[in-house]
């Protein structure tokens, strides 16, 4: 074949595109029920935004960003995640918190393609801006679980941790640094650099050896200040009250992004195999200020559409049947064309065949479109004020009066 899609990208052919649209539609409806509004931001953003927000020491920024210079020499990134662009847009657009926002769209990461992992993938995300209390953290998870349950995904778990705040996380970083310094030589070259600049990032190193070493290191939970401990405990207490029971604490969960504070979480399902995560998020109380806005507490999550499609149960609701209309001649079209709008106004799906094409050809085409019914509009029937309707399942054909057609097809 002459042309192929770029490595790590994916085509959504109609059957899968239909499932994707269905998932997106349920997501939109769920967000609306929780009082969220949509926001759309560019796929292109300045590279510096992600350096500052996502973090210069993260795998995402160091290894996975698509970067290029445009024709004027600006260095741009294809967004690797949604949150930094949303916060930039909120600050730039002068939106005043509190705000509840959701977004859908493609994200780009130059990763090794694997099952369910693409270089262009799609995220469904939300952000709550300007709410600092622990109930909001629970409400955000409640939205996620409500959405997942609405599309029939049940067998998953939510991993939870707290990363502390500006007051308590430096002490943990120090302790981690002290612990890992004695093991420095055994760490991978990346982590040796992180040890100096951002030791927390060592916790999401994918190198097995590094993982083994920090297993025995200090734990964040032992360093949380009383405010952070209380926030986390209160958040946890709301979950069972909201019917959320499928969670467990994960003391090494840090989520691979610099801006998280306090609550972080990840959605995992064993059905996905070794790449078992299908989304996650957390609180980011400092990001607004880091990006030049007013200090504003915030929390959000993003779910990966491609992974959700892998988890989607088979046989979600059937598409309404297609009705194919075959006009046998231009004159028949002129006399019978109101049928098209009558049916479409009643929300029926209508494909109109090429006017005047031989019936045999039109039936063949109707079959390719998997039409359920073919309405044949021809001179003889029209004289009687009727049309012929062919049932494509049984092959049976009958005459129906024009004014009864809609009722019959409904
Ligand atoms: Zn704290
Ligand atoms: Zn490492």
Distance 66 CA to ligand 2 centre (A): 22
- What is the pLDDT, as a whole number, of residue 386? 97
Distance 228 CA to ligand 1 centre (A): 4
Query: Which residue bears the tokens 């504003």?
Result: 296
Pairing of strands 37-38, 99-108: parallel
26: three-class secondary structure by DSSP: helix
Please state, in angstroms and rounded to a whole number, the distance separating the CA atoms of residues 304 and 116.
9
Distance 169 CA to ligand 1 centre (A): 7
Same domain, 148 and 290: yes
Q: How deeply is 334 buried, as exposed, middle or buried, from its count of CB atoms within 10 A (0-12, 13-18, 19+)?
A: exposed
What CATH number is associated with residue 339? Answer: 3.40.50.800
211 in any annotated domain: no
Say if residues 265 and 284 touch (Cβ distance below 8 Å). no
399 in any annotated domain: yes
Distance 192 CA to ligand 1 centre (A): 27
177: three-class secondary structure by DSSP: helix
Ligand 2 (ion): residues with CB under 5 Å are 188, 191, 205, 207, 210
282: three-class secondary structure by DSSP: strand
Nearest of 104, 122, 96 to residue 29 by alpha carbon: 104
203 in any annotated domain: no
Residue 345's φ and ψ, nearest 5 degrees, are -65, -25
Say if residues 110 and 64 touch (Cβ distance below 8 Å). yes
Q: How many CA atoms lie within 13 A of 214 on its CB side?
A: 28
Same domain, 270 and 373: no
Distance 241 CA to ligand 1 centre (A): 25
Please state, in angstroms and rounded to a whole number, the distance separating the CA atoms of residues 349 and 324.
9
Same domain, 19 and 118: yes
Please state, in angstroms and rounded to a whole number, the distance separating the CA atoms of residues 136 and 298.
9
- What is the pLDDT, as a whole number, of residue 300? 98
Prior bond of 226 cis (ω within 30°) = no
Q: How many CA atoms lie within 13 A of 89 on its CB side?
A: 18
| H/E stretch holding 336 | helix 330-336
Say if residues 54 and 258 touch (Cβ distance below 8 Å). yes
Please state, in angstroms and rounded to a whole number, the distance separating the CA atoms of residues 162 and 262.
4
| H/E stretch holding 25 | helix 14-33
Q: Which of 241, 276, 311 is the last residue of a domain?
A: 311
Q: Among all ligands shown, which has an atom nearest to the Cα of 286? A: 1
Residue 83's φ and ψ, nearest 5 degrees, are -60, -45
pLDDT, mean of each 10-residue run, the chain (410 residues): 93 95 97 98 98 94 96 97 98 97 98 91 98 98 98 97 96 94 91 90 88 91 97 98 97 92 97 92 97 97 97 77 97 97 96 97 96 97 96 96 95
285 in any annotated domain: yes
Nearest of 86, 66, 88 to residue 77 by alpha carbon: 66
Distance 215 CA to ligand 2 centre (A): 13
Distance 227 CA to ligand 1 centre (A): 6
Nearest of 361, 370, 359, 362 to residue 393 by alpha carbon: 370
Pairing of strands 277-283, 261-268: antiparallel
Distance 172 CA to ligand 2 centre (A): 18
Distance 214 CA to ligand 1 centre (A): 22
Distance 266 CA to ligand 2 centre (A): 21
Q: Which residues are annotated as a binding site for L-histidine?
A: 81-83, 109, 123, 127, 255, 259-260
251 in any annotated domain: yes
- What is the pLDDT, as a whole number, of residue 316? 56
Burial 124-146, CB ≥16 within 10 A → b, else e: bbbbbbbbeebebbbbbbbbbbb
Q: Which of 311, 338, 353 is the last residue of a domain?
A: 311
Q: Among all ligands shown, which has an atom nearest to the Cα of 183? A: 2
Q: Among all ligands shown, which has an atom nearest to the Cα of 225? A: 1
- What is the pLDDT, as a whole number, of residue 206? 83
Q: How deeply is 262 buried, as exposed, middle or buried, from its count of CB atoms within 10 A (0-12, 13-18, 19+)?
A: buried
Q: Among all ligands shown, which has an atom nearest to the Cα of 207? A: 2
Q: Domain total for the chain? A: 2
Same domain, 66 and 149: yes
Nearest of 80, 106, 132, 66 to residue 284 by alpha carbon: 132
What CATH number is associated with residue 282? Answer: 3.30.930.10
Measure CA 55 to chain center. Answer: 22
Q: Which residues are annotated as a binding site?
A: 81-83, 109, 123, 127, 255, 259-260
User: Which residues are CB-neighbours of 327 under 8 A, at least 6 positions away?
Assistant: 333, 336, 337, 352, 353, 355, 356, 377
Distance 168 CA to ligand 1 centre (A): 4
Distance 336 CA to ligand 1 centre (A): 73
Ligand 1 (ion): residues with CB under 5 Å are 164-165, 167-168, 225, 228
Residues spanned by the domain of 386: 322-409
């Amino acid at each position: 074949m002459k042309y192929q899609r770029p490595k790590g990208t994916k085509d959504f052919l109609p059957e899968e595109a239909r499932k994707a649209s269905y998932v997106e539609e349920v997501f939109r409806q769920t967000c609306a029920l929780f009082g969220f509004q949509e926001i759309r931001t560019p796929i292109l953003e300045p590279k510096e935004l992600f350096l500052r927000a996502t973090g210069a020491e993260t795998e995402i920024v160091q290894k996975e960003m698509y970067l290029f210079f445009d024709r004027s020499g600006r260095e741009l990134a294809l967004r690797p995640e949604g949150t930094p662009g949303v916060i930039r847009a909120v600050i730039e657009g002068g939106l005043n918190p509190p705000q509840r926002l959701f977004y859908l769209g493609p994200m780009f990461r130059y990763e090794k393609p694997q099952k369910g992992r693409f270089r262009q993938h799609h995220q469904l995300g939300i952000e709550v801006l300007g709410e600092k209390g622990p109930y909001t953290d629970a409400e955000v998870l409640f939205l996620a679980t409500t959405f997942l349950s609405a599309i029939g995904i049940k067998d998953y778990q939510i991993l939870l941790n707290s990363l502390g705040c500006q007051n308590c996380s430096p002490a943990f970083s120090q302790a981690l640094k002290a612990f890992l310094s004695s093991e420095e030589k055994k760490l991978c070259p990346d982590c040796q650099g992180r040890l100096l600049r951002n030791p927390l990032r060592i916790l999401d190193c994918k190198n097995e050896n590094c993982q083994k070493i920090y297993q025995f290191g200090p734990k964040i939970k032992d360093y949380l200040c009383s405010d952070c401990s209380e926030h986390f405990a209160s958040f946890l207490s709301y979950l069972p009250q909201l019917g959320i029971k499928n969670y467990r604490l994960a003391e090494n969960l840090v989520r691979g992004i610099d801006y998280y504070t306090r609550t972080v979480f990840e959605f995992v399902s064993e059905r996905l195999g070794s790449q078992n995560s299908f989304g996650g998020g957390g609180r980011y109380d400092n990001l607004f200020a880091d990006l030049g806005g007013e200090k504003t507490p915030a929390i959000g999550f993003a779910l990966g559409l491609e992974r959700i499609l892998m988890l989607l149960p088979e046989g979600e609701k059937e598409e309404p049947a297609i009705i194919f209309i075959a006009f046998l001649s231009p004159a028949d079209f002129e006399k019978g064309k109101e049928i098209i709008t009558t049916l479409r106004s009643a929300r029926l799906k209508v494909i109109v065949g090429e006017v005047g094409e031989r019936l045999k050809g039109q039936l063949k085409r109707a079959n390719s479109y998997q039409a359920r019914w073919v309405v044949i509009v021809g001179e003889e029937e029209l004289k009687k004020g009727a049309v012929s309707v062919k049932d494509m399942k049984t092959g049976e054909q009958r005459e129906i009066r024009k004014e009864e057609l809609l009722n019959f097809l409904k």
